[in-house]
Amino acid sequence: MTEPSLLLRAYDEQLRTDAETPSALTVNLLGPLRLVTFLGGRGFVTYRDLGGADEAGVRGLVDEAVAHFRADGGITHVEWKTRGHDHAPGLHEALLGHGFVQEESESIMIGDATALAVDVPLPDGVTLRRITDEPDVRAMCAMQDEVFGAPASDKTANAILRRLGLDDGMELWVAEAGGEIVTAGRLEPVAGTDFAGIWGGCSRPEWRGRGIYRALTAARARSALALGKTLINSDSTEYSRPILERYGLVKVSTTTPYSWER
């Protein structure tokens, strides 16, 4: 299945469900919306579609969703995840009107896992491994926060460690050189679907362009195939998108997050 329209249909039907939020603490339904809370005071809004709502209907959904999260004093940050192919009249304006900030768009990439599961040579001294121990997880999360420009915090590591405790299939992979993590990423096999997602991929700037991200992606793809997953999906930055395209993944749409801070 390589036709973009078929891949996009599989994405909408198989992934825009609870599969999208495996680490949720709570999920509340508001019409077509899924209002999700995560550890650390994070809220999240997603949906399969907006149920054909017109502009007034969309504005009403935004009003109610914001009221829901405002009423929970423990929520300090909310992300509303939009997709470029959705019919969502007036959504951009409604979100901005409630103080959401539009962030950078990413490409929704999907393709055959076998296309990624290739042999990629590593630079001398670089090794790959899957990690599970807490010190390794905290080191990985600290590196990712640094590379992504996030403030130093235990929030990400605590959330990831909680996920590992659920034993729901998530895998953490790193590349190391000289005892330092230089590249990292997650594999998220989605139960009951054809998909495994590759997420959180990043490399330290001085190690980019040397094939390490490609090798880490190949290792995750091989693991996905071993678990019976045939499709890989990823929300990709402009750094990773060209790499995935070279291995046959297809851009089927875009996703743009909007963020609200209390």
Backbone φ and ψ for 152, nearest 5 degrees, come out as -60, 125
Per-residue pLDDT of the chain (262 residues; tens, 9 = 90+): 568 999 999 999 999 988 889 889 999 999 999 999 998 899 999 999 999 999 999 999 999 999 999 999 999 999 999 999 999 999 999 999 999 999 999 999 999 999 999 999 999 999 999 999 999 999 999 999 999 888 878 888 998 999 999 899 999 999 999 999 999 999 999 999 999 999 988 999 999 999 999 999 999 999 999 999 999 999 998 888 988 898 889 999 999 999 999 9
* pLDDT tens for each residue of 225-252: 999 999 999 999 888 898 889 888 999 9
**41 and 74 in contact (C-beta within 8 Å)?**
yes
Backbone φ and ψ for 121, nearest 5 degrees, come out as -70, 140
For the chain, the domains span: 17-108, 111-253
Q: Is the pTM of this model over 0.95?
A: no
Q: Are strands 180-189 and 171-177 parallel, antiparallel or unpaired?
A: antiparallel
- The CATH architecture assigned to 111-253 reads 3-Layer(aba) Sandwich (3.40)
pLDDT at 1: 56
